[in-house]
Amino acid sequence: MIDLLSGYAIFSLSTVLVFVALATLLHLQFGLAGIVNFGVVGFWGLGMYAFGILLLNFQLPYFVALILAVAIVALVAFVLGWVVLDLDSQAQLVATLAFAAVIADLVTTEKWLTKGVVGLGTVPHPFGGAQSALWLLLILLVLTVGVIVYARLLGRSPFGRLLAAIRDNEVLARNLGKDTSRAKLIFFTLTSAGMGLFGALSAPVRQFLTPDLLGPGVTFSVWIALIVGGKRWPLGGLLGVLLTIFVFDFLIETYLRVPSDWAQIIPILKLMLYGVTLVLVLLFRPFGLLGDRRQPTSHL
Amino acid sequence: MLKLNAVSSGYGDVTILKEIDLDVGGEVFAVLGSNGAGKSTLMKAVAGLLRSQGGTISFEGRDVTRTAPNKLAEMGLAIVPQEGNIFPDLTVRENLSLGALVGTRPRKARMDEVFDLFPDLVPRIDQKAGSLSGGEAQMVAVGRALVQEPRLLLLDEPTTGLSPKYASSLFRKIREIHEQRRIGILLAEQNAVKALEIADRVLVLSLGAIFLNEPAKGIDFDRVRAGYHI
Ligand SMILES: Nc1ncnc2c1ncn2[C@@H]1O[C@H](COP(=O)(O)OP(=O)(O)OP(=O)(O)O)[C@@H](O)[C@H]1O
Ligand SMILES: [Mg+2]
């Protein structure tokens, strides 16, 4: 037990949980509502840095800083969504990708605020004591399960059906009596703020924040996980992350004794295997390993 | 119920409909005309899907010239467009239940009425609408609009692609719906003979203008036909 939950194991499991949450939020945005968000790391990283800055530079109380950080992400998502959500998916892709790149750039260059590549100070765990990392893991577990449950319930609700209708035939959806642009904007703001929340909570997981955390690799990992697991399925994100990120970042790196001269090869191997997996999935199971199964529809 | 006053509309800078005046009561109002006459453009203009280029539209006494389509749906107007009138990736059940985003009566009761009207849909309830036959898909499209319980229903060539048997039965059902629910129906149609069988009033569009607007009863068919050959 002690060995199983070593400090590094807790760190890795926390990271995996964050990825599960991000992939599930992306399922909501893309799989359910058809919004193309290639700026996952931007919302996540903004939440993380905003929280760290409010906590360390401005000395705000822990939970005040957390709530404020999420509010900042929500505001940014609202403005970005307002501009791009009614454009086509290519425009959404480019705009969100660019947004994430801007966030990474700002974090690197605005040294007065972020200390740039030197790194922001150390973000403490929410609760002190010997088990503080474990507490954080538990919080992440509860919140991640919460996101999955929300995804499940939403798919069966009228609002969820409206989002699916918008994804499927937006022109027709405008005749259903609901403001489709508003529905998308509210939903995008909410789910992106969710990514920001998990970013903020990643700050104490990472503890020491540096700009290199904000590379596009985060976004790609989340997308690959979702596509492997099944974009239409609330559990698709979970399954995909378990098969990709969990296997590599947790099982292999934590428990597999690899010769030290392999250490450099593993990340490259990981990317190659991700790529191969993605190609195989797209070829043989285009809707992910969970197939074309969607949530059962509302039972009347 | 629906009044158009010198309505001009079209796409971008192109004007298709030219100063249309129209008064639709709680009747079956057929809009006829050959391909490209502007039937669909008229339907889209009424449903708020096109930018107005002039004139005014009122629905039940309220000016709706610049009202968004979702607001019109809330006010009691439903449209079955000629194309893209279903959600192909959603099931029959989901398609129909989307009609219940407006209105207050229980969703189940409203959907059951549609299944009574189109019993062929019952075995297809959990099938994706995109995998239905053309006729079944049209039933889903009309059914979804009926679940909305509109006071004015816009049907744009609902029988396109249907076999004559299906088409006749759908026309009969349209009349039936009108009589049961006392709602207004604006029906765009190619087939003048079929439309005249169920319509109270007939409008023939030609090149975006009104060629003829008369009661269906005792209408001179040659004059209707003339509207197709300009
Ligand atoms: N999206 C569009 N953009 C530009 N022009 C259009 C568009 N849709 C239709 N038109 C033009 O408007 C005119 C009228 O088209 P409309 O679709 O209203 O005809 P219709 O009477 O419905 O014909 P049909 O019986 O073939 O459906 C046509 O000349 C057509 O080329
Ligand atoms: Mg047409």
Listed in sequence order, the residues at least 6 apart from A300 whose beta carbon sits closer than 8 Å to its beta carbon are: B93, B97, B107, B108, B111
A289: pLDDT confidence band, cut at 50, 70 and 90?
confident
To the nearest whole Å, the CA of A227 is away from the closest chain B CA by 18
Q: What pLDDT, on a 0 to 100 scale, did the predictor assign at position A300? A: 38
Q: What is the pLDDT of residue A116?
A: 87
* Residue A291: band (very low, low, confident or very high) from pLDDT cuts 50, 70, 90: low
Residue A66, pLDDT > 60, answer yes
Residue A222 pLDDT more than 90?
yes
Let me know if A78 is exposed, middle or buried by CB neighbors in 10 A (0-12, 13-18, 19+): middle
In degrees, to the nearest 5, what angle opens at C-alpha B120 toward C-alphas A155 and A172? 45
**Domain segments of chain B: what residues?**
2-226
- Tens digit of each residue's pLDDT (9 = 90 or more) over B147-165: 999 999 999 999 887 788 8
Note whether A21 and A196 are within 8 A (CB): no
Which residue did the predictor score with more confidence, A100 or A262?
A100
Check whether B177 has a pLDDT greater than 70.
yes
Distance B99 CA to ligand 2 centre (A): 23
Contacts (Cβ under 8 Å, ≥6 apart) of A3 = none
Kindly state the tokens that stand for A267.
């990340």
Give yes or no for residue A254 having a pLDDT over 90. no
Pairwise CB contact (< 8 Å): B98 & A167: no
A292 pLDDT band, cuts 50/70/90, is low
Beta carbon of B84 within 6 Å of any ligand 1 atom:
no
For tokens 């001009």, name the residue.
Answer: B8
* CB B50 less than 6 A from any atom of ligand 1: no
Sign of CA dihedral A162, A163, A169, A171: positive
Which pLDDT value is given to residue B230?
A: 62
Domain B2-226 falls in which CATH fold? Rossmann fold (3.40.50)
Q: Is the pLDDT of residue B60 over 80?
A: yes
In this predicted structure, which of A257-261, B52-56, B207-211 has the lowest mean pLDDT? Answer: A257-261
Which amino acid type is present at position A100? A
Residue A95's pLDDT is 96
Provide the 8-state DSSP code for B74: H
The residue whose CA is least distant from atom 11 of ligand 1 is B36
Write down the pLDDT at residue B213: 93
- Of B47, B78, B93, which has the smallest distance from its Cβ to A297's Cβ? B93
Task: Kindly state the percentage of chain B with pLDDT values over 90.
Answer: 82
B152-156 sheet: strands from edge to edge? B77-80, B152-156, B184-188, B28-32, B201-206, B209-215
Contact list in A for residue B154 (CB cut-off 8 A) is none
- Is the pLDDT at A1 greater than 60? The verdict is no
The reported pLDDT for the residue numbered A296 is 40
Does residue A294 have a pLDDT over 70?
no
- Check if B33 has its Cβ closer than 6 Å to any atom of ligand 1: yes
pLDDT at A210 over 70: yes
Tell me which residues have their CB within 5 A of the ion that is ligand 2.
B 39-40, 82
Q: What is the pLDDT of residues A6-49, one digit of tens each?
A: 788 889 899 999 999 999 999 999 999 999 999 999 999 999 99
Residue B86: pLDDT band (50, 70, 90) is very high
Cα Rg for chain B, rounded, in angstroms? 17
Partners of residue B72 in chain A, C-beta under 8 Å: 175
Which tokens belong to B145? 């609009």
Select the more confidently predicted residue: A103 or B168. A103
Q: How far A105 CA lies from chain B's nearest CA (Å)?
A: 39
| pLDDT on residue A4 | 55
User: Of all residues in chain A, what percent carry a pLDDT higher than 90?
Assistant: 68
Cα–Cα distance list, A183 to A30, B50, B131, B138 (Å): 14, 21, 27, 27
Question: Is the pLDDT higher at B19 or at A250?
Answer: B19
**What pLDDT does B56 receive?**
96
B69–A168 CB contact, under 8 Å? no
Any ligand 1 atom below 6 A from CB of B190: yes
User: Which one of the ligands is nearest to B155 CA?
Assistant: 2
Residues of chain A with C-beta less than 8 angstroms from the C-beta of B67: none
* Residues across chain B: 230
pLDDT band at residue A298 using 50, 70 and 90 as cut-offs: very low
User: For A157-194, what is each residue's pLDDT tens digit?
Assistant: 999 999 999 999 999 999 999 999 999 999 999 999 99
Q: What is the mean pLDDT of chain B?
A: 93
- Stretch A215-236: mean pLDDT, rounded? 92
pLDDT tens for each residue of A49-60: 999 999 999 999
Rounded to a whole number, what is the distance in Å from the CA of B31 to chain A's nearest CA? Answer: 21
Q: Could you tell me which chain B residue has the CA closest to the CA of A174?
A: B70
Q: Does A121 have pLDDT greater than 90? A: no
Q: How far is the CA of B112 from the centre of ligand 2 (A)?
A: 30
